[in-house]
Structure 1
Amino acid sequence: MCSVCGCGTLGHSHSAEHALDDHQPVHPYVFTPLAQHAHVSGLTQARMVQIEQDILTKNNQYAQENRQFFSERAMLVLNLVSSPGSGKTSLLTETIHRLVGQVDMAVIEGDQQTSRDAERIRATGVPALQINTGKGCHLDAQRVGTALKQLPMQTASLLFIENVGNLVCPSAFDLGEAHKVVILSVTEGEDKPIKYPDMFYAADLMLLNKIDLLPYLDFDVEQCIQFARQVNPSIQVISVSAKTGEGMQDWIKWLEDERVQQGISNA
């Protein structure tokens, strides 16, 4: 198992885009909760905590380099995070369809295996690069920085980073993005924000997805929003359905407003 969060094994991460990740080791991220079980790895709790701090510090250095890259090119960059099956990729492809021709866009896709999601994005005509993390459970700033060198990035463009499906580890890793956007499907239960508070605390926006299914579910929308704001009083919430299009215009307007606030003009 991974010495960080129990999600995988140390070794090599093989990307579908071989030039990106071949022969690059999966870093042994270590989170504080696991330090309570340091005896499993033979390390002391203090040493585990120190490793965690060193890794996050190094990640933040790479994140700052990415942020400088984005700033110099006047790019709006969003880190899309969620659990598996939230409809993240479907929502992203629908978003691209609505913005294509108006805004230059690119996508970095993070998954443990396969390039299926990147292929779905490329089918829209937008460039996408797949990062396969192998046993790893999240993207880190260094891998994103490497990916940036292989994507045709335009000035004043919009970059979506679709993170690995996981509501735990991606919350701790800054990629240099302007905002984390957490996607929560109504099929997951309204208590996810208080079960996984770090993710919802780190996010600036929650997209409540698959609302077309609400008539068939026992899901309390108001309770879910209340839980999210209990964790993060400033979190914004937009209810959407990638399938029917409901709420999509509100999401598109949020994106447009963010671009205006950053002084980014349309392509």
Structure 2
Amino acid sequence: MITYVMGDLFQSPAKVLVNPVNTVGVMGKGLGAEFKRFYPEMFDQYRVLCETGRFRVGQLHVYRTAHKWALNFPVKRHWRDAAQLSDIEASLQKFAAVYAEHGMTSVSFPMLSMGESKLNWQSEMRPLMEAYLQPLPIAVYIHVFDEATLNRNTRSVAAWLHGTPQPIAFDKLWRDLLRLIKRKTDFVTADGTPFSVTQDEKARSRSVVLVKAGDSTYLSESLLADLWHYLRGAGYAQADNMPSGLDGCADCLLALLGELDYLDTVALSASSRDDGEAPRTGLHYIPPTRKDEPRIAQLALRSDV
């Protein structure tokens, strides 16, 4: 299944991050320059492969670290050339053929060849990507360019990419939620609807109460735990794929939980924004990483696939 994401590819929950490249060993600007900055050892491997003629269109190069894998994905032969649909299709064919063999369980793509290419996204690139990626039984994210990523904190992103994720237990989420609603009880949904949240101290089991337009909704600990279990595993959550029992108050939960440090709101869609379908607000779980982790270049393995 494909999900379109209006957010930073480098903070994706996917295991594999796709870097569109040429086959002459140059990552001069754009997304490639960012990959080169975050994974300099990967760039060195890629350059050697190109210089020795061992990396061509239709081949892939995987650079593995403990947290993320960078996948060099050829979309053109020379950096001066315009991307060709046939070259991109060859790389998509290769990915679809080998992803399972190499243990790729989730992947984030940018919108391929949307920089200097003359290829049309809606009539050429999107149908091609969806033809190969939609049938795959793994989570596939296609990241729509977001100008906010131009101002990313590169030091923070690099630390996250090279750190060790520290999963957040539900008990911590619960404590953080209670601290939040002790500081403030009034919130606003994405469409501007006000609501309030308080702890239900009279209930035998832990729960909170949402009040919107005079209607009260009681959210038990077990319901919130189900949501947290799903969100920790998926990384992204939309209103329509929340656990049963939460769909009626999903807009409030998105606004409420989005105020926690390790959760953020994100625009998600089943189709690209050019389709006319408005993206929906969702949640993005970004687990903290252990800050004392050194860079793990010594654990990185080269794999030519």
Larger fraction in helix: 1
Q: TM-score of the superposition, structure 2-length normalised?
A: 0.27
Q: TM-score of the superposition, structure 1-length normalised?
A: 0.31
Structure of higher CA gyration radius = 2
